[in-house]
Chains A and B, each alone.
Chain A
């Protein structure tokens, strides 16, 4: 079976461990990642020439980051690595690739492991598209990748562990914080603690960030509703409603906002995988078995792209997907390794579930979003226009609403607004979130430059 070609999309924690597992079994997988270097989202590497220490970049995770980077680097001549290359379309068992210069390539696969990670999830508020407002992930990337801060006095708004992590990282990097504005009641977060014991180390880290931030005098408010970003051409103030119902204004020169992250599932969609609604994640996810087998033969799912469970679990599910692939190809594999990875995956899944419950997605915020708030930034569609489309034009699900008013039709293809559009649709129509469906994936999965150079010879 050595002739069979396995392709891995994504060189983050999941993709790295999948590649390593396949190489250990004697295969030479292709690894495609649009980033110029391996590491993925959490262990994103600096461009060559930047010399900040791992400790500075990754904090507590420096050891894990180093191990993962080393693991990938050791595979260098044992995998066919295509950095800086995006997979933008699929047809049958072929993948269409484009590199940064627009060079095109098509590669076939016998088996495919999707380890495409996750993206930010946001809730729109008045002024969220103003210069100076970033996603939490964007703020973190600016810091990790370009070593710059998004502002000198940053307000962080949202929910989820990333909120405190980014706050910690910013404060450590010398940024001042206007405050951490969490939409979740503190009591709910505390109530979640016992279940998070599934991962004592992570929980301890989270508590440490929290305590450290408090000790450093960073203002922290819980149970808030962001109302609007204000400023003259650029963010200067954040206005929110606190838990007592009072409107309060905080001066700031940048805002970072986010509510957990969501799986990147477009490729699974193009490949024809079955999806099911995951109520806890609040998202449609490709169906998978414990090993990461999708509903399509030869297509495997791993990491946060399969279901958001964090970096450690991504490593475990990367290995599992590779093992499933070996097993399905009739190749030998180490059952003990599999059992260990399965255990890690189950622990990680339990922890992730507890986190979701402790930091719930703030569904209630949608009820109060003003009609004037922008929902779809790319096509400039307001929440009010979207609500009217649902009410007056008989759009009973999100694709129909998209067809009528362009929400999700622009550059981001609904990555930014899709989750919010679905929730507003469900509320406006008075139905369950699952009943409004999901935006269909359409190639290219991300914007593709027209100035394409085709394969040599053409």
Chain B
């Protein structure tokens, strides 16, 4: 049994980051991996998010990673045996005033230097191609290769594929401590297991700061819960994901017919409770946006609301890459409301880093070192905040 507790890599946290890292380590490098998840694979942020697989609007320095991820999204059936309902329907960012239109135009001009080609849609074309849009839109930017996927399926599918490839996927198994000894990490779980590995991946989502802090690298991360809602099934009529320029509102229609929406509002999060409650008042705010966006949605019924726990860093960039202090420690957290699209790319990069020490995807801007002189981390303030989920 002593061998069984030794791995090449131990991954703490089975969200999309951890699950896809396990998959790529086991398949690409035949590494022995333990993926340790407190609850179920992909049941936290990765399983409850909006499902946007969107590149446009991301900070440019994130685009190389996002492209890497997008390539994987397009190959899911070959890689993991299922498409996770990924549909490259395109993503339409809509401006409702001249300032936002100018911002979309400026983004468009620069994005092409980062390998993302977007189409500006003038107001007449917009009306012609998207007759269901409400009045007030002055223009839009279309990203034809972006789309959406089913978040409830993606991370669990990576987890199952990792398991098939030989990874040990430990569910309902909480990591309660990790320390570094001369010969590697010792990881302790709540059910009394001890795992050892020379490499440790910290991908515990909004809960990652606890592990970062235990290695002297706490970051000023805040946990918040974007709020989502979904309508009853309607005839399929909106293909692309729609959103405002500032992501204050966004929506998509799944093929079965329901319209998922979010944006504009977050709920307060207590890290001790993995299931934050949506606020009824927030739903009313979002419904006003929904009907303004798509007037034909008036009278349609909303059947469910939910939220999830996400970690936000002040510059809205993740902490991704090698620890600046502890050899063998990799961080991957703080995706600040837009980690779903990046997920498979992050897993792939983590696998490369763990197995070869390096990656071809530029991730320097995400180094945790940028928080080196951070004061001790704060816990989530409870004030409701407005901001974007993605």
Contacts and interface: CB of A to CB of B under 8 A. Distances in A.
B303 A450 contact: no
Contacts of B283: 89, 443-444, 448
Contacts of B361: none
Given A400-B43, A403-B152, A404-B156, A450 B280 contact: no
Given A400-B43, A449-B300, A442 B287 contact: no
Contacts of B278: 442-443
B303 A444 contact: yes
Contacts of B301: 411, 447-450
A442 B232 contact: no
B83 to A, nearest CB: 14
A443 B280 contact: yes
A67 interface: no
A411 B256 contact: no
Interface stretch (B104-112, B132-140, B290-298, B372-380): B290-298
Interface in B241-296: 256, 258, 275, 277-281, 283-284, 287-288, 290-291
A103 to B, nearest CB: 12
Interface residues of B, number: 35
Nearest to B152: A403
A403 B305 CA distance: 14
Contact of A449 (B160, B256, B288, B299): B299
A447 B302 CA distance: 5
- Of residues A90, A104, A270, A442, which shows the largest number of chain B Cβ atoms within 10 Å of its Cβ? A442
B160 A410 contact: no
Given A403-B152, A413-B304, A447 B232 contact: yes
Contacts of A451: 291, 298-299
A447 B153 contact: no
B231 interface: yes
Nearest to B287: A450
Interface string B73-115: 0000000000000000000000000000000000000000000
A378 B280 CA distance: 24
A221 B123 CA distance: 68
A409 B298 contact: no
A152 B93 CA distance: 56
Contacts of A148: none
Contacts of B300: 449-450
Contacts of A454: 284, 288
Contacts of B281: 91, 96, 106
A5 interface: no
A409 B230 CA distance: 10
Nearest to B47: A403
Nearest to A448: B302
A381 to B, nearest CB: 10
A444 B279 contact: no
B16 to A, nearest CB: 14
A448 B229 CA distance: 11
Interface string A28-43: 0000000000000000
B233 interface: yes
Contacts of A442: 278, 304-306
A406 B256 CA distance: 10
B305 A444 contact: yes
B390 interface: no
A344 B77 CA distance: 62
B256 A96 contact: no
- Of residues B43, B284, B291, B298, which shows the largest number of chain A Cβ atoms within 10 Å of its Cβ? B284
A450 B160 contact: no
A452 B287 contact: yes
Nearest to B261: A450
Interface string A54-92: 000000000000000000000000000000000011110
B259 to A, nearest CB: 9
Contacts of A449: 299-302
Contacts of B256: 379, 406
Given A91-B281, A404-B156, A450-B290, A410 B43 contact: no
B291 A450 contact: yes
- Of residues A378, A394, A443, A450, which shows the largest number of chain B Cβ atoms within 10 Å of its Cβ? A450
A91 B299 CA distance: 24
Nearest to B278: A443
Interface string A421-453: 000000000000000000010111001111110
A393 interface: yes
A409 B277 contact: no
A91 B304 contact: no
A262 B136 CA distance: 48
A376 to B, nearest CB: 11
Contact of A91 (B232, B233, B280): B280
Contact of B302 (A90, A393, A394, A444): A444
A393 B299 CA distance: 36
Nearest to B306: A442
B70 interface: no
B148 interface: no
A89 B153 CA distance: 28
B280 A90 contact: yes
22 contacts: A88-B280, A91-B277, A106-B281, A379-B233, A393-B156, A403-B43, A403-B47, A404-B152, A410-B233, A413-B303, A440-B275, A442-B304, A442-B305, A444-B302, A447-B232, A449-B299, A449-B301, A450-B231, A450-B299, A450-B301, A451-B298, A454-B284
| 4 smallest beta-carbon distances between A and B, as pairs | A89-B280, A447-B301, A451-B298, A96-B280
Given A89-B305, A444-B302, A450-B231, 14 more contacts: A90-B280, A96-B280, A379-B256, A409-B258, A410-B303, A442-B278, A444-B283, A444-B304, A444-B305, A447-B301, A447-B303, A450-B291, A450-B298, A452-B284
